């Protein structure tokens, strides 16, 4: 059984130990990478030895916030920490050997399976970056540096859609303000992360918008991303960042769903975005996934058409 730690207890736990390896989740986003990069930098500034396990799915959009943190091949840690990971199913392949030896899990997902020896979990926080901020500010003689502020801002802003998603709280905005004061370059970050798109991304979004399907009097919108669409538009993983939010942006839509073909036609990822009173986590839990009420996901070994059929059955029960 995992031992639950407060932010203060987690700060003390980190101060008492050294030689850390951090793990980020599969298909890493700005939250897991920004959080890992920030915690690595902060602990190094505090005099600790800490690295992040290489994740082959890191995209160019976020690589510069984590490149200087990657562990050498011969590094053997004393303590392994997961960041923004709710279950071992989300471990990248090269992290699975650590699955039974996780010293600490830092997370904000209500669906967390408590797989670590110790867990610092706060599902009231909109991002894992906020949890990391809570922990760092409990280390009384540590001051947030500009590099840490930048990486934490990446975590907060990307997991809240630049503070536009429903998971944004007053605490999120307070922490963001403090990160700006600490040196986070928000003009540059906001332009790079939210106001700049590649041509391939624009083309892919165009295909998605024209192919949207609506159900239940327009309350549900479903889009599909096939490998053929990706090949046609020459879209990259960076182009996929936040693309799951598109269906939910349509007026009158409460549940936006994106189904994406991955390595084969029978290997798909479901991404769900929901507005009250609907629950994205409840939907994805039916497919072995999870997340938050407003945003959740699942990986399913079925075709797009079969997943859509199964989704509509689940949604019919809800409506």
Q: Where are the domains of the chain?
A: 3-194, 199-318
What pLDDT is recorded for position 188? 97
Tell me the per-residue pLDDT of 275-286, one tens digit each, with 9 for 90 and over: 999 999 999 999
* Tokens read off for 180: 């700006």
Pairing outcome for strands 213-215 and 3-4: unpaired
Q: Residue 83: CB partners within 8 Å, gap ≥ 6?
A: 22, 23, 24, 32, 35, 36, 39, 106, 107, 128, 132
How far apart (Å, rounded) are the C-alpha atoms in residues 279 and 201?
28
What pLDDT is recorded for position 275? 92
What pLDDT is recorded for position 282? 94
DSSP code of 70? B
How far apart (Å, rounded) are the C-alpha atoms in residues 185 and 257?
33
* Tokens read off for 115: 């797989």
Hey, what CATH topology would domain 3-194 get?
inorganic pyrophosphatase (n-terminal core) (3.90.1640)
Q: For 234-289, give the DSSP string.
A: T--TGGGTTGGGSGGGSTT-SEEEEEEE-SSTT-EEEEEEE-TT--HHHHHHTTT-
Q: End-to-end distance of the chain based on CA atoms, in angstroms?
A: 37
Tell me the per-residue pLDDT of 43-72, one tens digit each, with 9 for 90 and over: 999 999 999 999 999 999 999 999 999 999
121 DSSP β-pair partners: 107
How far apart (Å, rounded) are the C-alpha atoms in residues 284 and 298?
6
Determine phi and psi for 160, rounding to 5 degrees: -115, 10
Nearest of 192, 200, 275 to residue 236 by alpha carbon:
200
What pLDDT is recorded for position 291? 86
Buried b (16+ CB within 10 A) or exposed e, 29-57: bbbbbbbbbbbbbbbbeeebebbbbbbee
* Tokens read off for 103: 């010293």
SS3 category, 100: coil
How far apart (Å, rounded) are the C-alpha atoms in residues 21 and 32?
14
Nearest of 258, 266, 201 to residue 225 by alpha carbon:
258
How far apart (Å, rounded) are the C-alpha atoms in residues 289 and 300?
9
Q: In a structure prediction context, what are the per-residue pLDDT tens digits for the chain, which is 319 residues long?
A: 899 999 999 999 999 999 999 999 999 999 999 999 999 999 999 999 999 999 999 999 999 999 999 999 999 999 999 999 999 999 999 999 999 999 999 999 988 999 999 999 999 999 999 999 999 999 877 899 999 999 999 999 999 999 998 899 999 999 999 999 999 999 999 999 999 999 999 999 999 999 999 999 999 999 999 999 999 999 998 898 889 999 999 999 999 999 999 877 778 999 999 999 999 999 999 999 988 888 999 999 999 999 999 999 999 988 8
What pLDDT is recorded for position 165? 87
Class (C level, CATH) for 199-318: alpha beta
């Amino acid at each position: 059984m995992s031992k639950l730690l407060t932010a203060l207890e987690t700060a003390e736990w980190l101060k008492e130990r050294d030689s850390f390896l951090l793990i980020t989740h599969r298909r890493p986003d700005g939250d897991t990478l920004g959080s890992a990069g920030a915690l690595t930098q902060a602990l190094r500034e505090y005099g600790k030895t800490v690295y992040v396990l290489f994740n082959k799915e890191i995209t160019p959009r976020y690589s510069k916030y984590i490149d200087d943190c990657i562990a050498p091949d011969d590094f053997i840690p004393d303590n392994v920490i997961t960041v923004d990971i709710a279950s071992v199913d989300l471990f990248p392949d090269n992290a699975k050997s650590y699955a039974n030896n996780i010293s600490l899990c830092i997370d904000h997902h209500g669906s967390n399976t408590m797989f670590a020896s110790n867990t610092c979990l706060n599902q009231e926080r909109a991002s894992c970056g906020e949890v990391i901020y809570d922990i760092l500010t409990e280390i009384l003689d540590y001051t947030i540096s500009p590099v840490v502020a930048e990486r934490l801002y990446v975590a907060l802003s990307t997991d809240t859609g630049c503070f536009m998603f429903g998971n944004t709280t007053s605490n999120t905005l307070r922490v963001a303000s403090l990160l700006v004061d600490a040196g986070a370059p928000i003009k540059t970050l906001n332009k790079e992360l939210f106001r700049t798109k590649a041509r391939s991304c624009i083309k892919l979004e165009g295909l998605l918008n024209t192919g949207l399907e609506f159900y239940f009097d327009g309350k549900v919108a479903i889009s599909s991303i096939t490998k053929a669409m990706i090949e046609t538009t020459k879209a990259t993983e960076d182009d996929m960042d936040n693309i799951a939010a598109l269906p939910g942006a349509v007026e009158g839509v409460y549940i936006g769903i994106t189904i994406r073909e991955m390595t084969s036609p029978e290997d798909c990822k479901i991404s769900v975005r929901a507005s009250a009173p609907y629950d994205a986590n409840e939907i994805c839990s039916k497919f072995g996934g999870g997340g938050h009420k407003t945003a959740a996901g699942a990986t399913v070994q079925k075709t797009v058409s079969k997943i859509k059929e199964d989704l509509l059955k689940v949604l019919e029960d809800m409506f």
